[in-house]
A and B are shown apart, each in its own frame.
Chain A
Amino acid sequence: MSSKVSVSPTSLIDQIVVPGDVVLDLSNMTNQTIKLGSGLRQDSDAISAMRAGKFSYSKPNKYWVESSHKRYIPRTEDHVLGIVVDYKADNFWVDIKGPQIALLPGLAFEGATRRSIPKFEACTLLYLRVVKTNIGMNPELSGTDASGKASVFGPLKDGFMFETSTGLSRMLLSSPTCPVLEALGKKLSFEIATGLNGRVWVNAAAPRSVIIVANAIMNSETLSATQQRIMVEKLLAKISD
């Protein structure tokens, strides 16, 4: 293991790592506090990767492995799109593409009381926030933000939902707006809700625009920024003909 550490840790940033790779050596990083994100674990002085993906770093001290999966591992404060499965014992059972069904307490909505619990049919699409992810328990969701306001959360009506990988949904949420969305937004008006669990909901006035947006997003998974722009331009040109 020590032989692996010889690789200088800074060189691994933005590189692809595989499970078992030692990415950081704490012995030569004393007087530093670092925060580990997903896909990393500590073995005394060695920080090793647990997932395959890109080793990322953000100033001042955050490290994580960025990867793309079809399945979602719940994490607190993630915004997800869930599908209601059932209602049992004051809890909605919600499918969030995770290993377990997540629970959404009926009271976790703005203005909900024992008497007025919102009613959702099975297969309703909800935009939710992950609140608890304790080991051995089903993850808990909430329909309000941290201050108890409904804000953006709640049921999504109409529109179209499609599934992508978690990597793509993260890309769609990245802070300088993702090139696909930017290029599409110049020509079309649409509403979009992206869950970190790899579900994307799109709505627009015309079904046509919804289909265009959905397919453009699904096609952009493996494309670079410029390729994405070209792809969208071509698509829009084809449509306008």
Chain B
Amino acid sequence: MEGRLANMWRLTVNESKFVETALQSELRVDGRGLYDYRKLTIKFGKEYGSSEVQLGHTHVMGFVTAQLVQPYKDRPNEGSLSIFTEFSPMADPSFEPGRPGESAVELGRIIDRGLRESRAVDTESLCVLAGKKVWSVRIDLHILDNGGNLVDAANIAALAALMTFRRPDCTVGGESNQEVIIHSLEEREPVPLIIHHLPIAFTFGFFNKGNIVVMDPTYIEEEVMCGRMTVTVNANGDICAIQKPGEEGVNQSVILHCLRLASSRAAATTKIIREEVEAYNREKSLQKVKRHPTLAKPEVSGPIVVVKEGHKMSEDEAIAAEISREYVERLNLSSVELKSSKEQEAVAASPGNFKGGPSNWDPYTEAMDVDSLKASLASRGVSVTKSTIKKKANDSGNVQKEVTGDLEMKDTAETTKHKSGEMTLKDAVKPKKKRKNKSS
């Protein structure tokens, strides 16, 4: 009993009196205007469908998971969406572990209503096998710190988590065409949920018998205020849900005023969420690209080696046109690459500008480098056949001539390039040798 008393947070008479007197002159204890929102930051976790939302001191984590379940009998071809809340005593000493309290249930219900009744998430697309298997999406909301206005923060956390959630792709197959095969994330690109619109909750606090309306009440204000109303609207101005707990009655005009305020705010909040989600998606896709070169290199070089062998095999009876075409293609590429590599070298000479090299990170030019090296190596071996190719090419016409002319040009260019390649490789060593030579 005594321990609980010591851990309870309580508001002093001074504070409650001050909050009210300050509001009389349209001032709020954290220096905001009456209808200002606190700073909203959204962060995402490493995995799909996890979000962390900070609204001032309020801190909420959302996590979305999905599993295949049997659908409800009355809705055989609809997936389900359920919301679970976790009020940790870490967030606020007044939250008790174990059974969810009244506020936890209310919070879950408000968000659930906003999301489900407005059909924000397309549940029909969650159906895999009508009447047998549907996806059941579960949103877990963890309150990490309570700084007031948990509903709004939790609602945004839920939306952000839903928007970044990807469920594994699955197909129906098997013997009777009734088996569901779930593909792992590596095997197939996971599928995002279909979200039609974003219902965003806005909480208003009422003071002084409903005469003073305040948006996004803080922890202290929540203790003092006499009434509360949560309005869930989307960016289009549709009202998805309204919740009005507390005893204090509110005038119709005040409600309309709140609705107007909320719908004017909704677009801005939607924009913030969408921008954050987009940034996250971009980062995710970039991560995938980064992972690519390590995988791609062996894949690219592998078949080329095979091709090379094939050429060596058919060296004697080389199909001239094919080879020449291939060379031309390669050389064209290598010439382009040559330019870029020359540029790179020039850039590399001045270390300050090194980052400016556009193809610095590009895995494909690197792969091509290996390729062209091999080509040049092979060209020594094929040199005999090459002359025949040239002859044939000469016979075949002017266009071909030009091409072979190009080929020769590029051959020389390639050798120089080869040298320059050596330069780059032994860049650090050679000058020293040169210096030594010069000094000796």
Contact = CB atoms under 8 A, between A and B. Distances in A.
Contact of B10 (A83, A100, A207): A83
B440 interface: no
A121 B13 contact: yes
Nearest to A82: B12
A99 B21 CA distance: 33
Contact of B18 (A100, A101, A158): A158
Interface string B24-39: 0101111100000000
A215 interface: yes
Chain A, interface SS category: mixed
Interface string A120-148: 01011100000000000000000000000
Nearest to B11: A123
B328 to A, nearest CB: 64
B5 A101 contact: yes
A201 B6 contact: no
Given A93-B5, A98-B6, A100-B6, A123 B12 contact: yes
B14 interface: yes
Interface residues of B, number: 21
B288 to A, nearest CB: 37
A99 B17 contact: no
A160 B220 CA distance: 11
A86 B2 CA distance: 11
Contacts of B13: 121, 123-125
A161 B10 contact: no
Given A101-B2, A160-B29, A211-B31, A83 B18 contact: no
A154 interface: no
Contacts of A156: 14
Interface residues of A, number: 28
Interface string A202-223: 0000011011101100000000
Contacts of A85: 5, 10
B31 A215 contact: yes
A196 B29 CA distance: 22
B29 A158 contact: no
Interface string A66-101: 000000000000000001011000000101001111
Contacts, number: 63
B305 interface: no
Interface in A28-70: none
Contacts of A157: 14
B18 A210 contact: yes
A159 interface: yes
Most chain B CB neighbours (cut-off 10 Å) among A124, A156, A160, A161: A160
Given A121-B13, A123-B12, A211 B6 contact: no
Contacts of B12: 83, 123-125, 161
A100 B30 CA distance: 30
Contacts of B3: 100
A220 B226 CA distance: 32
Contacts of B29: 160, 162, 211, 214
Nearest to A160: B18
Interface string B322-354: 000000000000000000000000000000000
Interface in B119-133: none
Contact of A208 (B2, B8, B11, B27): B27
Contacts of A214: 29
B18 A215 contact: no
B9 to A, nearest CB: 9
A125 B16 CA distance: 12
Given A160-B18, A210-B18, 6 more contacts: A95-B10, A124-B13, A159-B18, A160-B29, A207-B22, A208-B27
Interface of A: 83, 85-86, 93, 95, 98-101, 121, 123-125, 156-162, 201, 207-208, 210-212, 214-215
17 contacts: A83-B12, A85-B5, A95-B5, A95-B6, A95-B10, A98-B6, A100-B2, A121-B13, A123-B10, A125-B14, A159-B18, A161-B14, A161-B15, A201-B14, A211-B30, A211-B31, A212-B31
Interface of B: 2-3, 5-6, 8, 10-15, 17-18, 21-22, 25, 27-31
